[in-house]
């Protein structure tokens, strides 16, 4: 399982760490995603694959709240 890690320094010298993964298979059609960082922000969500290049996405973000949408993959 590949998890993307990121470390950044801003102009004030603060360090920010982040872990992320967008395509963890739960079943044949459902994918889970998550993001968490050291600023106490997080995101989690699910993709339901309708066809090879179309899916419905729903996620919760600590800053923006709940979201849902249609995802087109090209």
pLDDT digits (tens, 9 = 90+) for 33-54: 999 999 899 999 999 999 989 9
Residues linked to residue 26 through DSSP beta bridges, in sequence order: none
User: Within 13 A of 13's CA, how many CA atoms are on the CB side?
Assistant: 0
pTM of the full structure: 0.78
Query: 12: which DSSP letter?
Result: T
Range of the domain at 54: 4-72
How far, in Å, CA of 15 to CA of 28, rounded? 38
Can you tell me whether residue 27 is helix, strand or coil? coil
Q: What is the pLDDT of residue 10?
A: 86
Q: Give the chain's domain count.
A: 1
Please identify every stretch of the chain with a pLDDT value under 70, giving residue numbers as ranges.
Answer: 1
How far, in Å, CA of 62 to CA of 60, rounded? 7
Q: What is the pLDDT of residue 1?
A: 67
């Amino acid at each position: 399982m590949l998890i993307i890690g990121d470390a950044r320094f801003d102009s004030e010298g603060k360090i920010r760490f982040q872990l992320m993964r967008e395509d963890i298979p739960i079943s044949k059609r459902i994918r889970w995603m998550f993001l968490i960082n050291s600023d106490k922000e997080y995101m989690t969500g699910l993709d339901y694959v309708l066809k090879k290049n179309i899916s419905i996405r729903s996620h919760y973000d600590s800053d923006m709240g709940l979201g849902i949408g249609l995802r087109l993959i090209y």
